[in-house]
Structure 1
């Protein structure tokens, strides 16, 4: 199932062997995420500009809506993990989440220009993401040897990010072909999301765990915090999430500072996704070697540098490209690395529940962060908001580097 690496192999053969060393179930989940992310990013790429410029939301209003999008349904991550562990049906629960998000793409058609309706649809869409994330990551973790989790999550996130890379391009193509009809983007997004659900049903295998369904009380999930290393991991991840600026604000800051045109705005996420795509697998492998927590914190250091470029005195277009690259490096060093680090700390029968608990803390923290950034931006403008976020992120990152949550065995 796993092939040894030989130094005499050509680069193409080494690349092929890298993918074959990853379990088939991880690759299948990666393909599902690729297709689903094309669908999601078609909408995400146009949404900030549509809300702020099209509907005229101020930064605080947008921050509230972005916060809702990021974390208001975070509690459903707990429900998804809890139900998946109780039913012992990780694939089925993940499929419910994927299906719910697919249906919501059509809900955006009915929402029209109503901010309240759009907020409700986005909340349901994020509920679907919240339900599916923990069971999916638990499937990856349980399908992979512990020593190779960084690589497995890196490969999955690379495929996922390839979808995020393609999504804005597909959205731009649909807008061009439909003469600027946003409804066409929503319909196209729905059709692609349905393909993702179908691929999940056909390609992904559940992780068999013998025995009948077990009653895992919700308080049992909180009992996982009695594991000292896991508790510290959750605490620091939430604190870092509280001082991490959301993607939409990064792109809006870039658009404002460098006066990016409306036509080019949906392509900004491609800069982040492209770097993420290139670095996800190499950084996942590096995390397995040098320590996943170290790399996780290094990723936040990359975000600090990106924010400094966004609010610095120099206004060169090259710096905008570098900032997007650093933003992508932040995700490559954190998005898959954190569950890879936390998974081995948890018992197998509560793996989905534990990862859901970790992700919920992050999501709620980022929801608060979005509201705070929007508030500071509204009261004191963009530059003070970015400077305050950067300073807070730097302090928390340095503190997390000094106080190690646990010693990783490699």
Structure 2
């Protein structure tokens, strides 16, 4: 396969989120320090005046309060449904921006319209979460992503005496370098790694009673930094009947399902399609998802002259139908946990060609069900995809193995993991807990 070497031209790259004016970076760093200092001070005050988290009564089912922000219905379902199916769960109260998950044992509460008009979407959701915790006094207060959801869950848990639960769904980028590679303001706008801010975030993480990661990489990193509370790898659960292979003739050669945000590096995906077109002139690719970078991506597609080869499907509710119409799944991200999109695609029998980052290697085995590729390497992505699409024997073997490797991620299997994890008593002596937290916060 002949591949052009001119694939890293700056003109072909989307805007780098770290290339921001100095005053924006300065404001972001100052705000990040104020946030972490304030939360740490509040928690230390609680250590003196509030009781520690109560032990869960294993003879009674639990009420769990969660918030996730602007997550899609499909994303929420994959993460929350297995938890609701665990033997320990009586009810899940989900605080969300909009109604979602009308399912047994799951109650979704949204901020009132007037509150959102006054304070904005995210602040009103966080206020609703805190007051709901005070009203219902759940057994567990949890949040997806450290900033800001899990941070608020930690405060709400300490105030009400509940146990705290942190879903580390973004992997190591949620705390490494002071979360400088995070998408959220202010941490993701600081423009540089900040070891001191990293230690502050790790100090807060160490205060959680329970921590759930999507893959083994994030768990090992947290343990390396001295986090000693229970950490369990519990990714989302996938419905094997909903995400099943299709015998229909594929419409697309490759598919990617993701938000259009900088960390997904969709500029790399577009360049890969551009390179593949040299040997596969009629190649068809599709991006399922939407986001802030769509205008820039549309311009890039026009500049690369691949308008007829790369289709932007936008936000879609029926993800399985797009996966069944493709032959292979691609993920060009700079960082990931164990991506739900990857799990769904492989459950549908799609071989995967993904960046060798984060926890993706927990599921993708080189030469067995897909390929792990050096991140941002357009040549390597194009070569592995071309090999997969043109080698029928390899595709059949990878497709079969991809489906089989995801059976461990079914909703019933993940529910069993939750049942076991919720039976673990995370309590340690208060002295040991505070001593370790103070070391990390220094």
TM class by shorter chain equals: under 0.3
Structure with higher helix content? 1
Structure with higher strand content? 2
Please give the TM-score of this superposition, normalised by the length of structure 2.
0.25
Please give the TM-score of this superposition, normalised by the length of structure 1.
0.27
